[in-house]
Amino acid sequence: MKKRVRIYAVLLALALLLSGCGNAQTQTGMDGTAGQTERENGQGSLADDRETAEADKSVYMDPAQDVESRVEALLAQMTLEEKIAQMVQPEQAGITAEDVSEYGFGSVLSGGGSAPSTGNSAQDWQQRVNELKAAALQTRLGIPLLYGVDAVHGNNNVFGTVIFPHNIGLGAAGDPELTERVAQAAAEEVRAIGVQWTFAPTLGNPQNERWGRTYECFSEDPQEVAVYGAASIRGFQGELGTEEYLDEKHVLACAKHFIGEGYTTDGINQGDVAMTQEEFDLLLESGVIDPYAAALNEGVRTVMISFNSVDGVKCHENRHLIRDILKGELGFTGLVVSDYNAIQQLSGATYKEQIRQGIDAGVDLFMEVYSWQDFMKNMKALVEEGSVSAEQIDDAVSRILRVKFEAGLFEETIGAETEQALLKKVGGEEHREIAREAVRKSLVLLKNETQDGKSALERLNAAENIRVCGQKAYDLGSQCGGWTISWQGMSGKTTQGTTIIDGIAAQVMPEKKLSHDVKGEVLEENDAVIVVIGEGPYAETDGDRTADALKVSADDAVMLENLKASLKEQGKQDIPVIAILIAGRPLNITEYLDDFDALIMAWLPGTEGEGVADVLFGEYDFTGKLQYTWMKDPADIEDKFAEGNEDKVLFPAGFGLSK
């Protein structure tokens, strides 16, 4: 669960305790402190000013009408409060269904790991999501609620769902059609719980793997990102122009994070791109904008703005990027959503000024997760004082309504039989097979030494008593990585799936003997070693590393030293050692390379660990290729693309061996 959610929950409990009342909706101020509630101090909530006129639904509820007529007919009936409520996206952990009915929020999200209070099964989620969607229909105009989650490698918050390889692995797989099928399967598992929107795919092209979000991106090359991003969007949404597009088995995708996140100094998450705006515009024109152009071509209807800044100016207040380039040059007519409380990082001296900066720059929907009452009050004040125009509000709300009409939300039957049918597919064999195929294809063979005419992998297959070393050989949480069950991900058996060693056992036993060890000790009878090493789960800033920290975890380093000593003690230095790396990015493994007879980059494969054994022992070959330039020493990452630095590169982008 996002630690922010925990803090809020404590504050809310504290506030309830202090206020002594059952379900007071506390107004969290900017610093998250619980304050007075609107209703308690008798000022009445924003909702009390709402007109009670009977809605005229004749046009906007008629699917035979064209979208723009429906938008116009609905907008014309909306009060300022109703418009402003459509522009805010609270976190589900901080609101009740009554709040949804009373305020008429346009959208609600579950941040990473923000599961219903009842539990984390698909059924728990379906119940919570549909409770909130039903509450939205109780409002005067009955504008449907758009629910968003980060389904970035499957419906990854929910227990028991299929967790697919993270995008860095899908890029390595080099198969856009597979990427599309992965996204389609994920869309079904998301739609099954009533959610209609995923904040995916990430379209960054990381230049520096010190960045904690490298694994969320397909490639360092924006042209590659454009291909896989479009395929992912096609899978999530269905193909533009076909019956499938945004039907009840698909979800809205989100092109994120606009723009430049992969270019920050030292790969610092939410950091600054040290370029002038002119230099940055040239960078965009050189190709970095192409993934977004491709996404728009593919019919993406939501774009999330990036936390990073350019030349010190935060993207969320960069009018030139959002209004001139995204909405202007690219002609984007969908909705622009801000990132998680990102408005609160803007240069304005007050929250009110920050909100003004956000809408002025072109943000339409504000992911202001706990300060939603502050947001609505300040936005109303900005309009009433003339700092924000009615046109700006109407443009933002029109975009939100347009996307809702296009996505069929006004025709959606809550808990429809489509949803029930999809619920049966959650975590099912069909999707697990797609994920297993994605694991197989994502693996990159980086070394496969030949000795006496046999490759390391041939010698492994000829072995009869295999030792599997390393804690990550049976750590489902590590092989899934961040954004799994919880925001940061966790080591251990966090959901249902198959570990790498279980997959190997299923392939080779009982013909071969297999044993597991975490210390790095081999036995006299062993005739081959598989060692699984890497980094533990992380997300966002928690994954930012200094160059010298880009290496396998400390316990893996100790285990590798022990293994080397043990092989020597047992006189086993000639048996094949096959290393499998579980990591969200290239790591510094140069010092170990000579100790490995074979080296496989498995990225963050997700729940279907058998995919690794399928290639190690099965009839499948390695087909994966690196999408990132891999340095001998991460201290040289800045020189990745400089002329004449080839000797600093360990494996170039595009590298990958076959058996």
Interacting residue ranges for ligand GLC, rule: CB under 6 A: 109, 111-112, 150, 199, 256, 339-340, 540
Catalytic residue among 298, 339, 419, 437: 339
3 state SS of 16: helix
How is residue 348 written in tokens?
């304005």
Q: Name the residue nearer to ligand GLC (CB basis): 219 or 308.
A: 308
Which lies closer to ligand GLC via its Cβ, residue 149 or residue 226? Answer: 149
CB closer to ligand GLC out of 8 and 651: 8
Q: What is the phi/psi pair of residue 526, to 5°?
A: -70, 140
Q: Which residue has the tokens 């152009």?
A: 293
Find out whether the peptide bond into 257 is cis, omega within 30 degrees of 0: yes
Among 310, 617, 610, which Cα is nearest to 438's? Answer: 610
- Dihedral sign from CA coordinates of 96, 97, 100, 101: negative
- Judge whether 339 counts as a catalytic residue: yes
- Smaller CB distance to ligand GLC: residue 112 or 497? 112
Sequence-ordered list of residues with C-beta below 8 angstroms from that of 320, at least 6 positions apart, any chain: 277
**540 part of the active site:** yes
Q: How far is the CB of 269 from ligand GLC (least distance, A)?
A: 9
Would you say 399 and 364 are in contact if contact means Cβ atoms under 8 Å apart? yes
Report residue 188 CA to chain centroid gap: 16
Q: 111 CB contacts (<8 Å, ≥6 apart)?
A: 2, 4, 5, 91, 93, 150, 340, 369, 487
Q: Which residues 6+ apart lie within 8 Å of 498 measured at CB?
A: 476, 506, 607, 608, 609, 610
Which residue in 520, 618, 536 sits closest to 577, CA to CA? Answer: 520
Report, in Å, the least distance between residue 42 CB and ligand GLC.
Answer: 35
Closest distance between ligand GLC and the C-beta of residue 310, in Å? 17
* Cα–Cα distance, 273 to 317 (Å, whole number): 15
**CB of residue 79 vs ligand GLC: minimum separation in angstroms?**
29
Backbone angles phi, psi at 359, to 5 degrees: -70, -30
Type of residue found at 604: L
Distance in Å, CB of 111 to ligand GLC, minimum: 4
Minimum CB distance to ligand GLC, residue 213 (Å) = 8
| Orientation angle between helical segments 390-406 and 372-384, nearest 10 degrees | 130
Asked whether the beta carbons of 422 and 191 are under 8 A apart, the reply is yes
Smallest distance from ligand GLC to CB 73, Å: 32
Closer residue to ligand GLC (CB): 585 or 640: 585
Query: Nearest to residue 105, comparing CAs of 127, 133, 77, 128?
Result: 133
| E-state strands within 107-237 | 107-110, 146-149, 197-198
Q: Which is nearer to ligand GLC, 129 or 460 (CB)?
A: 129
CB of 151 to ligand GLC, least distance (A): 10
Q: Which residue's CB is nearer to ligand GLC, number 133 or number 256?
A: 256
Active site residue: 81, 188, 540, 544, which one?
540
User: Of 324 and 542, which CB lies nearer to ligand GLC in the complex structure?
Assistant: 542
Residues assigned a catalytic role = 339, 540
